[in-house]
Structure 1
Amino acid sequence: MRRPTLDGSLWTVLAVGQAAAPAPRKTLQDDPAFQRKNYQENIEKDAECNRSPEWGPFRAQLLQTEEDMRVELAYEKMMEWGLENVTKVDEQSKICLLGLVAMQFYFAHMLLFEVGSVEAAADAFRMMDEHSGALHPDLLDQAAGYGKTWPISADALDSLRRALLRASAGGGTGGPDRRRRFKNAFGLHDEDWSQVWGSWRPTGAAPERLAGPWGPWGAAQAGAPKPSFRVFVYDPDTMPALRALTRGGSFCKHNQWGMEVALHDWFLACPCRTDDPEDGLNLLGHDHGALSSSAYYRRMDGGRDHIFAWGSGMAADGPFATWRDWVPNAIFLMTEPELWNPYKEVVQASYAPYKDILVPGRITVDDMIALGKMAKPFDERSILGHFIGWPRPPHPSVMPPEECQNSSCPLNVRSVLLARKGEEMLHVDVDVPYMESFLGLTSSLFCFVPRGKSAWSSRFFQTFFAGCIPVLLNDRYEAPFGEFVDLSKAVIKWPMTEVDALMEYLKQLVFQDSDRLLELQEAGKELRCWYAWPPSWVEWSWLEMNKSKFNKTCQDWHLRNAYVAVTRLLATKAGSARSRFYWPNAAATPTALERPGAL
């Protein structure tokens, strides 16, 4: 058996001893992510917690107690059982998860709405979020007996989460109705906002846009520091049509599509938020049902002042297939610039470069930290190229899938890569646990990012945290934030049908230009923090992030992250008009003309 290693700028081949007998091959289904969770038996077999001599009686007493007195009972038992201790909380979560969530919910609710301490409420909610976020909202409601077994619901938890984020806008006074606090829920304070906005403007911005009462492009306005536009976030508590779309934010934020939740959290806690829907851009949910109950989406032509977030490969065409009839001019914050294979009949992408903003998928803090810890120094990386994934044909609009099923079809670039499995210097495989993929990411010089079911892939953003140089094999994909980040310094983008030539080029680069490899990797380190979605302080991972090496990975993570990038780019999309029609003394207009902006 022979293994290649990198020695300076040359590849050398070292002979190693006879390998031991291989262990049974594991597949993706063997990964811990797909294994039964510790809380499941507790929820399925004893949601009432009657097996526990403490929690069963507590549940009965809680249900018999008046609503406004339940927090006193919850606090009494919390102190009696020592549940301010994190270790004891984790132990009790395995005995009575829903009881623990109910106790912490009442405590956090009291701290926010009765005591008025946002910081203390966030601490309590964060503890609850770690446990409630493990449950799908439908499972939580079912296990709670829809309020009859435990007096909690997914909607109530969601509402409290949003209230906390709204109350934690911080970073300035924010007007007479907002309590001043030094930092907001994402760690930004007054001076940070001036750094974010004061010295930056989009390439090609007209000089006249830099003048005016706000100074530099996007500089802070009077009051709380905020950009020269404001965002109104629709509230599911007042718009029932939105509740189904926003259920279970604590649960849904965990996956690669969780940036949809993250963006809503960001704008709720942002000093740029306005509580007046007439005063700014409008951040909405997903479908025409929500629009039907809104009086504001018709204010501008085609919803031009509305923002939608789309996380999956289906983009807007899945959850909102009729968007062109309702909001053809709305701003989309989306991961997908191309077409999604399962939607064979869709031939026009919902992404429009002139109005939309491409964003990265969400990588968890745990993954970013783990990849950083596992990343090997460049001179210890023994693999030239890495790819783990399933074969995918192109979209039917490009070529009939039945005519492009294997590696004989260059457009099926994943199959072309997988056909090289077993080749020396390559780590290529399919259907393996996530850890196997992480090992490849952190041990390889180059990581291939081919087109899959659609253009975007979370693997692209993982490569930067793994210290691997991404090689895009995706002709129709442009990575996010190219408006102000020079991707060509950190990324190789190669024609997807020229894999053979690519392999020769990469070997030549290693043999003859190893300094260029280090330059690409260093540029990737500078770029990677723009692709991070750090958690807010209502999430347990906020603590993990602040006590971990993530602060060394991204030392200025509160200033250089995907939220800041999106907010910057929104400045180029916002217009000065607040309605389709306007004139002086509009309020005194005869009713026959209706108000400005109405149809």
Structure 2
Amino acid sequence: MRRAGAGLALLTSALAAPKKTLQDDPVFQKKNYQENIETDAECNRSPLWGPFRVQLLQTAEEMRVELAYEKMMEWGLENVTKVDEQSKICLLGLVSMQYYFAHMLLFEVGSVEAAVDAFRMMDEHSGALHPDLLDKAAGAGEIWPISADSLDSLRRALLRASSGGGTGGPDRRRRFKNAFGLHDEDWHQVWSAWRPTGAPVAPVGPRGLGAARPTAPTPGFRVFVYDPDTIPALRKLARGGSFCKPNQWGMEVALHDWFLACPCRTDNPEEADFFFVPHYTSCLINHADTFAGCDTKQLCMPTTELFEEVLRESPYYRRVDGGRNHLFVWGSGMGADGPFASWRQWVPNAIFLMTEPELWNPYKEVVLPSYTPHKDIIVPGRLTVDDMISLGKMAKPFTERTVLGHFIGWPRPPHFSVMDPQLCQNSSCPLNVRSVLLDLKDTEESMHVDVDVPYLESFLGLTSSLFCFVPRGKSAWSSRFFQTFFAGCIPVLLNDRYEVPFGELVDVPKAVIKWPMTEVPALVEYLKHMAMEDAERMLELHEAGKELRCWYAWPPSWVEWSWLELNKSKFNRTCEDWHIRNAYVAVTRLLATKAGTGRGRFYWPGAPPGDLQRPPAI
């Protein structure tokens, strides 16, 4: 660290004035397709798409795919470059064309593989639009004959058909792997690693078992996935899978996709260990116009009422006390309280897969976390494939890093239950740890700390620093913690109540420093000493982080365009065995320990599986 000042000067030089803010980042700039959607959703200005739209609407539903295919070939839209060009001209026309083609390939031709190839490109384009915007632009089917619901339904159908494995039988076109790249031997490792009885994994019999095909390894548990196609209230909660999955809350979509394509899924609720309730509320509530009067600043009553309606009408919810066999994913700092304010009355015993173990600052009236350690599972936020790969490419070799510490972020006071936030507004209050860190900008030349900068500058800091600070913000969890591992930076948690995901599976202290958040001055001296005198221990932390990071990845399924990027980019150079060492597998292993052999309420020798069987007459 003798060259720390020079290293920071080089980094600062690379980010020369004029200073840009976060709003200058490309992610916030208007996209090429947006003006066309807003001013000409009918695409009447296009000599190709305007007439096509009129002709499509005038064509009988069952004949539309032939028209779509004819135009696809005529306009050369099997060429990806041409497709990208046309998406800027008439995004909804392109999505409509791709939808009809994928739907036909799945339901008429019966080829999951071909349907996925068609859907994958549509997923990339439709994912650019919030589901409400898509429906508005489509005019409720009057302008373009598609809807967010129809796209979501097709996505779910493809994932259900993609569980893979087993012999399959003569009437099934069998895929060797499932939608997430796992084959039978991979699943054998998943199930055998956490077998409660320690018994070997038996093969599934000739009749199959839920989505698990004959000869495949018997799943360690079975999960029934509530279907939005059959539950109107749930359909409102689980909208826009393609739109919601790429963001930091996307694990709500990712785990829905995972269970749909998992051989552990069963469509027979009588044999289920768990009931998964899909929803994308972290994404939808963070877009404040999705539900009337609902954003991240107050509890959301519209979504609360929808959850209550789903459970009130469910024939499975009351089988056990407090929803004990139900699974929910909560992907934001709001926890369960924001989207489902009455959860303590409805599902106090449900298993929550959640990012947030603590409290959300805007909810000062909520003083008890929705996370319960003995039953819930902390999961990581979702990083995109592009972010994981980009951070890896930008990362400087650890021995060449000359910046001691990095932090980019806004000041945040503590939660109201800890102390009055008005009394903790700046660095004079140690609990406002972000303000304390930001003050280092003027006192420590070895630090790269700042506020309100574009993502690129933050990424440059992450990939040029030895240590990266992860302080508490509006709540405990932060995507920056998981970014540090892919950036090759040693994470320093200043977040007293945060629990690192999957500590049951991995040795977190080997890769992470967790320091009392009120002791930043002592921390700075400690890190300086380590950088100068204990390079060997720093390298051990760094190498352990490289081993740990893949457990915090949510790889895409094969219905997403990023699946191609995942394989084309050789992501296995970052995570050699990414398909069996990832966040999905970690969640699956931890859930397996919560599934007991006595899952039914009643059982006796010779009884059929399920909860509702009647005792035999004697």
Same fold (TM over 0.5): yes
Contact 2:258 2:584 in 1 (8 A): yes
CA deviations 1:400-443 (Å, max 9, x no partner) are: 11111110111111111011113210000011111110010000
> Which has the higher mean CA deviation after the structures are superposed, 187-196 or 311-320?
187-196
Structure-2 separation of matches of 1:585 and 1:529: 44
Structure-1 separation of matches of 2:330 and 2:322: 18
Contact 2:8 2:402 in 1 (8 A): no
1:113 aligns with 2:101: no
Structure-1 separation of matches of 2:526 and 2:39: 58
Alpha-carbon RMSD across the aligned residues, in angstroms, is: 2.5
1:46 aligns with 2:40: yes
Give the counterpart of 2:495 among 474, 477, 487. Answer: 474
Contact 1:307 1:330 in 2 (8 A): yes
Mapping 1:27-66, distance limit 5 Å: 27-66=21-60
- With over 3 angstroms needed to count, the CA separation of the structure-2 counterparts of 1:175 and 1:279, relative to structure 1, is farther
Structure-2 separation of matches of 1:130 and 1:14: 38
Report the residue type matching 2:97 in the other structure: M
1:261 aligns with 2:282: no
SS at match of 1:428: strand
Residue 549 of structure 1 deviates from its aligned partner by 3.9
- Percent identity, please: 79
Counterpart in 1 of 2:390?
Answer: 370
- With over 3 angstroms needed to count, the CA separation of the structure-2 counterparts of 1:19 and 1:513, relative to structure 1, is closer
Mapping 1:155-304, distance limit 5 Å: 155-173=149-167, 179-198=173-192, 200-201=193-194, 209-211=197-199, 214=202, 223-280=215-272, 281-285=274-278, 287-304=307-324
Contact 1:5 1:380 in 2 (8 A): no
Counterpart in 2 of 1:464?
Answer: 485
Counterpart in 2 of 1:333?
Answer: 353
Unaligned runs of 5+ in 1: 588-592
> Which has the higher mean CA deviation after the structures are superposed, 570-579 or 151-160?
570-579
- TM (norm. structure 2) is 0.89
CA deviations 1:163-192 (Å, max 9, x no partner) are: 000001112257898653200100011111
Report the residue type matching 2:320 in the other structure: M
Report the residue type matching 1:40 in the other structure: Q
Contact 1:4 1:383 in 2 (8 A): no
Contact 1:285 1:308 in 2 (8 A): yes
Residue 583 of structure 1 deviates from its aligned partner by 5.3
Contact 2:191 2:220 in 1 (8 A): no
CA deviations 1:523-546 (Å, max 9, x no partner) are: 000000000000001000000110
- With over 3 angstroms needed to count, the CA separation of the structure-2 counterparts of 1:21 and 1:526, relative to structure 1, is closer
Residue 230 of structure 1 deviates from its aligned partner by 0.7
Contact 1:386 1:427 in 2 (8 A): yes
Contact 1:358 1:481 in 2 (8 A): yes
Contact 1:221 1:227 in 2 (8 A): no
Counterpart in 2 of 1:86?
Answer: 80
- With over 3 angstroms needed to count, the CA separation of the structure-2 counterparts of 1:222 and 1:77, relative to structure 1, is closer
Structure-2 separation of matches of 1:73 and 1:263: 36
1:541 aligns with 2:562: yes
1:360 aligns with 2:354: no
Structure-1 separation of matches of 2:110 and 2:245: 27
Unaligned runs of 5+ in 2: 204-211, 280-306
Counterpart in 1 of 2:3?
Answer: 5
Mapping 1:358-507, distance limit 5 Å: 358-422=378-442, 423-507=444-528
Contact 1:421 1:427 in 2 (8 A): yes
1:517 aligns with 2:549: no
Counterpart in 1 of 2:134?
Answer: 140
Residue 586 of structure 1 deviates from its aligned partner by 7.5
Mapping 1:59-74, distance limit 5 Å: 59-74=53-68
SS at match of 1:414: helix
CA deviations 1:122-174 (Å, max 9, x no partner) are: 00000111100100000001001110001000000000000000001112257
Contact 1:241 1:293 in 2 (8 A): no
Structure-2 separation of matches of 1:211 and 1:368: 37
Structure-2 separation of matches of 1:462 and 1:594: 47
Structure-2 separation of matches of 1:470 and 1:288: 40
- With over 3 angstroms needed to count, the CA separation of the structure-2 counterparts of 1:502 and 1:178, relative to structure 1, is farther
1:313 aligns with 2:333: yes
Residue 12 of structure 1 deviates from its aligned partner by 8.4
- With over 3 angstroms needed to count, the CA separation of the structure-2 counterparts of 1:480 and 1:466, relative to structure 1, is same
> Which has the higher mean CA deviation after the structures are superposed, 237-246 or 157-166?
237-246
Contact 1:221 1:228 in 2 (8 A): no
Counterpart in 2 of 1:590?
Answer: none
Structure-1 separation of matches of 2:171 and 2:231: 22
Residue 201 of structure 1 deviates from its aligned partner by 3.0
Residue 577 of structure 1 deviates from its aligned partner by 3.0
Report the residue type matching 2:437 in the other structure: L
> Which has the higher mean CA deviation after the structures are superposed, 564-573 or 277-286?
277-286
- TM (norm. structure 1) is 0.92
Structure-1 separation of matches of 2:98 and 2:325: 38
Report the residue type matching 1:344 in the other structure: K
SS at match of 1:408: coil
- With over 3 angstroms needed to count, the CA separation of the structure-2 counterparts of 1:302 and 1:510, relative to structure 1, is same
SS at match of 2:224: strand
CA deviations 1:36-87 (Å, max 9, x no partner) are: 0111011111111111111111111100100000000000110111101100
Report the residue type matching 1:210 in the other structure: G
Residue 19 of structure 1 deviates from its aligned partner by 7.0
SS at match of 2:230: coil
Residue 15 of structure 1 deviates from its aligned partner by 9.5
Residue 323 of structure 1 deviates from its aligned partner by 1.1
Residue 5 of structure 1 deviates from its aligned partner by 2.7
Structure-1 separation of matches of 2:144 and 2:9: 63
CA deviations 1:331-390 (Å, max 9, x no partner) are: 100000011111101111111111111000000011001100000011221210000001
Residue 578 of structure 1 deviates from its aligned partner by 3.4
Structure-1 separation of matches of 2:614 and 2:506: 40
- With over 3 angstroms needed to count, the CA separation of the structure-2 counterparts of 1:103 and 1:20, relative to structure 1, is closer
Contact 1:47 1:96 in 2 (8 A): yes
Counterpart in 1 of 2:294?
Answer: none
Counterpart in 1 of 2:550?
Answer: 529
Report the residue type matching 1:445 in the other structure: L
Residue 550 of structure 1 deviates from its aligned partner by 1.8
- With over 3 angstroms needed to count, the CA separation of the structure-2 counterparts of 1:14 and 1:278, relative to structure 1, is closer
SS at match of 1:385: strand
SS at match of 1:68: helix
Contact 1:344 1:397 in 2 (8 A): yes
Residue 21 of structure 1 deviates from its aligned partner by 11
Structure-1 separation of matches of 2:48 and 2:267: 44
CA deviations 1:90-131 (Å, max 9, x no partner) are: 011111111100000000000000000001100000011110
Residue 513 of structure 1 deviates from its aligned partner by 0.9
Contact 1:174 1:271 in 2 (8 A): no
SS at match of 1:556: coil
SS at match of 1:332: strand
Contact 1:582 1:596 in 2 (8 A): no
Residue 293 of structure 1 deviates from its aligned partner by 1.7
Contact 2:168 2:213 in 1 (8 A): no
CA deviations 1:497-546 (Å, max 9, x no partner) are: 11011011111111111011111111000000000000001000000110
Report the residue type matching 1:506 in the other structure: L
Contact 1:170 1:185 in 2 (8 A): yes
Counterpart in 2 of 1:550?
Answer: 571
Contact 1:146 1:153 in 2 (8 A): yes
Contact 2:167 2:214 in 1 (8 A): no
Report the residue type matching 2:53 in the other structure: R
Residue 196 of structure 1 deviates from its aligned partner by 2.3
Residue 594 of structure 1 deviates from its aligned partner by 8.0
